[in-house]
Amino acid sequence: MTWVGRSAARREDPRLLTGNGTFVDDIHLPRMLHAQFVRSTIANGTVTGVDLSGTLAVPGVVAAFTAADLEMGDITAVLERPPSEFVPTAMPVLARDRVRFVGEPIAIVLAEDPYSVEDGVEAAQVTYEAHPPVLGEEAALAPGAPLVHAAAAANTLVDVSMFATEGIDDIFAAAHRVVRVRSRTGRQNALPLETRGAVATWDAREEQLLVRTCTQVPHQVRTVVAGCLGLGERAVRVVVPDMGGGFGLKCVVGREEIAAAAAALRLRRPVKWIEDRRDALTASFLAREQRYDVCAAFDEDGRILALDADVVCDMGAYSCYPFTAGIEPLMASAELPGVYRVPAYRVRGRAITTNKAPSAPYRGVSRPQIVMVMERVFERAARELDLDPVEIRRRNLITEFPYTGINDVTYDPGSYLEALNLCERMLRDEGWYERKEQAAAEGRFLGIGYSCFNERTGYGSGAFAKRKMAVVPGFDLAQITMDLTGGVTVTTGTMSHGQSHETTLAQIAAGRLGLDLAQIKIHQGDTDRITYGFGTFASRSATIGGSAVARAATKLADRLLHLGAHLLETTPDDVELHDGHVRRRDGGGRALAYRELAEVAYLKANLLPKDAEPGLTATASFDVHGDGTFSNAAHGAVVELHPGTGRVEFLRYVCVEDCGVAINPQVVEGQCRGGIAQGIAGALFEEVTYDEQGEPLCASFIDYKVPTANEIPDIEIHHLETPCAFTESGAKGAGEGGTIGAPAAVLNAVNDALRPTGVELEDTPIRPETVQRAIGAYA
Amino acid sequence: MTEKLLISLTVNGEQHDDLVVESRHTLVDVLRHRLGLTGTHVGCEHGICGACTILLDGAPARACLIFAAQAEGQDIRTVESLADGGELNDLQRAFSAHHGLQCGFCTPGFLMLAEGFLAERPEATREEIREVVSANLCRCTGYQTIVDAIEDCARTRRGEVGEPR
């Protein structure tokens, strides 16, 4: 039976639907202490005193520690680039003397219950010498600006100039038309509904620190915990329970889980830390605050000739581990040209540091912005050259593959043109262009917007090495063991946090082994069970993790064939796997059930072939040495603007996506829809803001507007399939595309609706008052 | 502030007597940490996200905004009450069939919200369901499949359609 390509029912669902999932906050251990943090109340300054006597006097409080009390190394993420391009910054687990953002942890408080610990935190007295905060690009780059990190001149952590095609200035000088797009995107919170958290325990018998935490990258957490606490890697075990989302925020190593682990080690008692929502909004990791200044040269037919970009990303107070503050500017700089044939390219990408909570990857990483900027470039050019906005894209799309771009990236085959054409045809066939004309005649503001983009997935060690990361993520491992009942346990280095890997990875293994899903258990998130892994981020799990599973399954299948052939007294070529059995291809003789093979492999090793090892286990790895595989999609949005309120109402949203072979189409659609919802959130609603003292203004869901079912429309999804040639199942990644494509489509639709007003918006989030003002001024 | 109270709670038909709680202990914390009913989740502790939604005398309520002591004498129902033995109920099956959950963290809240709402308004239209679903936050699904699941369950309960799959 073929399992890949079926919308198999999710195996995660029964426990999650009955309240029987185990999330980190569901873990209760005897003698467990509860931890919370005394956090900086100022954005920039020096701590002159920490008085925890009041804290320790609170009933229920057991201990409180500052950096001086716990010996902990810093978290330092590194790019192997020259000092002119990258400045490393150390992030202490607890602030020592210097604090760099409101919410930075200064001391950990431990108490018998979660209420007392809050009282303890409140009773702490911290005194500061406050310095003026650095709160934005202008302030950070101003001559003589105060420095967030002494080593980072001009508050710049990353500064790279790349590509610089020879003669690019001449191309601009001679071009028929040059268009310029300047765009800003707001700071956002990835906002998994489950906040961060950890339960750390010292296991005296194993002489091992057990850290149960909701992370996308268990092995990286192990490495940093071991490093900061001076333990051997083998003395730390990271186990991940059920996870309530991550979206990138949980693919970096945080400080709080390390402090909790240090406290557990010191006190020899289990320590639980569960981040509350206020800390999650103000003091965890943020993303997306970027500024683009882009010029593009065009010929008279609307063909792009050159692209020149300046990108500045506000990464907040520290570099995240392992990606560094380069995560956003390096992604933006490498991938800006996107799906278009750009003959000449120059980019400067910078990461600046400011007195705000630090940045981590967030679903899509810079690609929501670069797609938005490129799609704005083409919309602008279409207006100035009086071309149809879809037609100008068609003239510039990459249509022949493999294609090596000016950005030194090779794109594997995709369906860029087909997706855009289908998307446009759907909206035309449904009559939206006529409805738009009619609305305009009635003085209503209806607009149609598109985005056309690709999404690099399957970033292997080749792609991350190009970025010059000191820690090069990329490969992953899978191990499959058949047990005595003839079923298998698949252990993977990837870490599902909503993506349904217990279902999709089992589908991959099932097909190769001739097993039913019910006979396959997926095990993930335990650093003691697999050598190493890079977890789940950057749409890598189906491509890389899934390919490792497929290879391990193939190896195990091969062992079953050999053993079966031996026991059936024939050759491996003459037998096949079918429905949990090894049988002769010619149909002769008896079929051997897997449990019969397993019985020989484990309990009757005397019957094994002479050269065969006992047991039935296979391990395999997978990596991508080239540039990865590119999913692609086109989005079409139809919006109507409401003059009175400035509301952007969706009338239609369609997505044509191509992620190669969809292992489970229903899961792919779920990723698309959820991704689009987050893209819409960034386009219209969410922005983390600060006051002039660096005080975060979004400390609750009242200040940070997360869209609900009233704001997110129904989305129709169509699938195209351009299989990936080098992943084992033909799959490309599907985790981020929705988020990447939505802001551009929404912004273009809003601008199309605003066309009569002459206003063109370039920044997100698009605030209702902006829309209202544009229409008001016109009316 | 740390005054101790002796209360009893009725949860999923079972009475829990002699619970010593502080007056400030929220219902969700007592359900989760004292009674071990960890299916009800905590997402924001200020009544916006709805992950902690339970039924109080049949009506959806935020368990993070209610003190445990206030819930005495009321019939409390949590997500653990929905399945009969090991069997998912029709609403739970509909959520699974429509892929109305991904990470599953918000799911117990949506299930209890929908149970309470459909009991009160079995005739609910898709628009009404969407309006009610907008009471809670989900970061994974984009909501469409949650609305689909609840609508499908409502139509099945009304006998309009057979169950999916």
Q: Indicate the burial class of A777 (C-beta count within 10 angstroms; 0-12, 13-18, 19 or more).
A: exposed
Q: Cβ separation of A10 and B99 shorter than 8 Å?
A: yes
Whether residue A545 is found in the same domain as residue A634: no
A52/A259 Cα distance (integer angstroms):
17
pLDDT digits (tens, 9 = 90+) for A747-759: 999 999 999 999 9
Last residue of a domain, one of A622, A642, A669: A622
B29/B41 Cα distance (integer angstroms):
9
Query: Are A296 and A310 spatial neighbours (Cβ–Cβ below 8 Å)?
Result: no
pLDDT of residue B3: 87
Would you give the distance in Å from CA A739 to the centre of its chain? 10
Residue A342 in domain: no
Residue A328 in domain: no
- Tell me which chain A residues have a C-beta less than 8 angstroms from the C-beta of B146: 709
pLDDT of residue B163: 74
Scan residues 110-149 of B and list those with Cβ closer than 8 Å to A. 111, 130-131, 133-147
| Beta partners for residue A213, in sequence order | A198
Whether residue B2 is predicted with pLDDT greater than 80 in this model: the reply is no
pLDDT band at A611 (very low <50, low <70, confident <90, very high): confident
Mean pLDDT of chain A: 97
Instruction: Pick the residue of A193, A196, A279, A650 with the most B CBs within 10 A to test the interface with B by mutation.
Output: A193
Residue A138 in domain: no
Whether residue A453 is found in the same domain as residue A500: no
pLDDT of residue B164: 66
Last residue of a domain, one of A605, A622, A639: A622
Q: Cβ separation of B103 and A193 shorter than 8 Å?
A: yes
Residue partners of A588: CB distance under 8 A and separation at least 6: none
Scan residues 52-111 of B and list those with Cβ closer than 8 Å to A. 78-80, 82-83, 88, 92, 95-97, 99, 101-108, 111
Q: Cβ separation of B96 and A17 shorter than 8 Å?
A: yes
> A108 CA to chain B: closest CA distance, Å?
21
Residue A184 in domain: no
Whether residue A457 is found in the same domain as residue A486: no
Q: Indicate the burial class of A569 (C-beta count within 10 angstroms; 0-12, 13-18, 19 or more).
A: exposed
Share of chain A above pLDDT 90, in %: 97
Q: Indicate the burial class of B160 (C-beta count within 10 angstroms; 0-12, 13-18, 19 or more).
A: exposed
pLDDT band at A10 (very low <50, low <70, confident <90, very high): very high
- B163 contacts chain A (CB < 8 A): no
Residue A228 in domain: yes
Q: What is the DSSP string of A608-664?
A: S-TTPPSS-EEEEEE---SS-EEEEEEEEEEEEE-TTT--EEEEEEEEEEE-BS-SS
pLDDT digits (tens, 9 = 90+) for A302-350: 999 999 999 999 999 999 999 999 999 999 999 999 999 999 999 999 9
pLDDT band at A587 (very low <50, low <70, confident <90, very high): confident
pLDDT digits (tens, 9 = 90+) for A696-710: 999 999 999 999 999
The CATH number assigned to the domain holding A768 equals: 3.30.365.10
pLDDT of residue B66: 98
A395/A417 Cα distance (integer angstroms):
10
Tokens representing residue A95 in the block: 């602030």
Tokens representing residue A83 in the block: 């000092």
User: Domain tally for chain A?
Assistant: 3
Q: Cβ separation of B144 and A712 shorter than 8 Å?
A: yes
B60/B117 Cα distance (integer angstroms):
7
Average pLDDT over residues A162-184: 98
Whether residue A435 is found in the same domain as residue A518: no
Extract the runs of DSSP E, i.e. beta strands, from A383-524: 403-404, 410-411, 445-457, 476-482, 488-492, 520-524
Average pLDDT over residues A249-272: 98
Q: Where are the alpha helices (DSSP H) in A252-366?
A: 256-267, 277-282, 327-335
- Tell me which chain B residues have a C-beta less than 8 angstroms from the C-beta of A734: none
Query: Are A395 and A302 spatial neighbours (Cβ–Cβ below 8 Å)?
Result: yes
Which domains does chain B possess? 4-81 (3.10.20.30), 90-157 (1.10.150.120)
Strand pairing of A716-720 and B4-11? unpaired
Residue partners of B84: CB distance under 8 A and separation at least 6: none
Q: Cβ separation of A17 and B38 shorter than 8 Å?
A: no
- Tell me which chain A residues have a C-beta less than 8 angstroms from the C-beta of B131: 709-710
Average pLDDT over residues B91-119: 98
Q: Cβ separation of B102 and A193 shorter than 8 Å?
A: no
The Cβ-side half-sphere exposure at A552, using a 13 Å CA radius, reads: 31
Using CB atoms, pick whichever of A19, A247, A712 lies closest to residue B108: A19
Average pLDDT over residues B11-18: 97
Whether residue A42 is found in the same domain as residue A115: yes
The CATH number assigned to the domain holding A17 equals: 3.90.1170.50
Q: Cβ separation of B88 and A14 shorter than 8 Å?
A: yes
Residue A217, domain extent = 13-131+194-244+250-282
Last residue of a domain, one of A260, A282, A304: A282
The H-or-E segment that residue B95 falls in is helix B90-97
From the list A10, A67, A195, A1, the residue with the least C-alpha distance to A665 is A10
Whether residue A411 is found in the same domain as residue A515: no
pLDDT band at A2 (very low <50, low <70, confident <90, very high): confident
Instruction: Pick the residue of A29, A708, A717 with the most B CBs within 10 A to test the interface with B by mutation.
Output: A708
pLDDT of residue A280: 98
pLDDT band at A1 (very low <50, low <70, confident <90, very high): low
> A238 CA to chain B: closest CA distance, Å?
20
Q: Cβ separation of A18 and B83 shorter than 8 Å?
A: yes
Query: Are A447 and A415 spatial neighbours (Cβ–Cβ below 8 Å)?
Result: no
Q: Cβ separation of A674 and B96 shorter than 8 Å?
A: no
Strand pairing of A290-298 and A271-274? unpaired
Query: Are A140 and A354 spatial neighbours (Cβ–Cβ below 8 Å)?
Result: yes
Q: Is the ipTM, as predicted for this complex, more than 0.95?
A: yes
Whether residue A656 is found in the same domain as residue A774: yes
Average pLDDT over residues A115-143: 97
Residue A107 in domain: yes
Using CB atoms, pick whichever of B80, B99, B144 lies closest to residue A18: B80
- B157 contacts chain A (CB < 8 A): no
pLDDT digits (tens, 9 = 90+) for B44-55: 999 999 999 999
Whether residue A438 is found in the same domain as residue A529: no
Q: Cβ separation of A706 and B143 shorter than 8 Å?
A: no
Using CB atoms, pick whichever of A23, A192, A277 lies closest to residue B45: A277
Q: Indicate the burial class of A602 (C-beta count within 10 angstroms; 0-12, 13-18, 19 or more).
A: middle
Nearest residue of chain B to residue A192 (CA atoms): B139
Q: What is the DSSP string of A156-184?
A: EEEEEEE---TTHHHHHHH-SEEEEEEEE
Query: Are A567 and A583 spatial neighbours (Cβ–Cβ below 8 Å)?
Result: no
Place of tokens 């500045």: A312
pLDDT band at B1 (very low <50, low <70, confident <90, very high): low
Whether residue A514 is found in the same domain as residue A549: yes
pLDDT band at A674 (very low <50, low <70, confident <90, very high): very high
A228/A223 Cα distance (integer angstroms):
9
pTM score of the predicted model: 0.97
Whether residue A491 is found in the same domain as residue A612: yes
Whether residue A33 is found in the same domain as residue A101: yes
Strand order in the sheet with A236-239: A61-66, A105-111, A33-39, A271-274, A197-203, A208-213, A236-239
Whether residue A86 is found in the same domain as residue A229: yes
Using CB atoms, pick whichever of A242, A247, A710 lies closest to residue B134: A710
Residue A337 in domain: no
Residue A344 in domain: no
